A and B are shown apart, each in its own frame.
Chain A
Amino acid sequence: DAMVIQNPRYQVTQFGKPVTLSCSQTLNHNVMYWYQQKSSQAPKLLFHYYDKDFNNEADTPDNFQSRRPNTSFCFLDIRSPGLGDAAMYLCATSRVGLAGVQETQYFGPGTRLLVL
Chain B
Amino acid sequence: DAKTTQPPSMDCAEGRAANLPCNHSTISGNEYVYWYRQIHSQGPQYIIHGLKNNETNEMASLIITEDRKSSTLILPHATLRDTAVYYCIVRALNSGGYQKVTFGTGTKLQVIP
Contact = CB atoms under 8 A, between A and B. Distances in A.
A30 to B, nearest CB: 8
Interface string B69-107: 000000000000000000100000111111111111110
A106 B98 contact: no
Interface residues of B, number: 24
A104 B43 contact: no
A7 to B, nearest CB: 13
Contacts of A94: 99
Contact of B44 (A44, A90, A101): A90
The binding surface of chain B is classed by DSSP as loop
A106 B46 contact: yes
Nearest to B104: A42
A102 B46 contact: no
Task: Indicate the size class of the contact surface on chain A.
Answer: 20 to 34
A97 B20 CA distance: 31
Interface of A: 4, 6, 31, 33, 42-45, 48, 50, 55, 88, 90, 92, 94, 96, 99-102, 104-110, 112
Interface of B: 34, 36, 41-46, 49, 87, 93-106
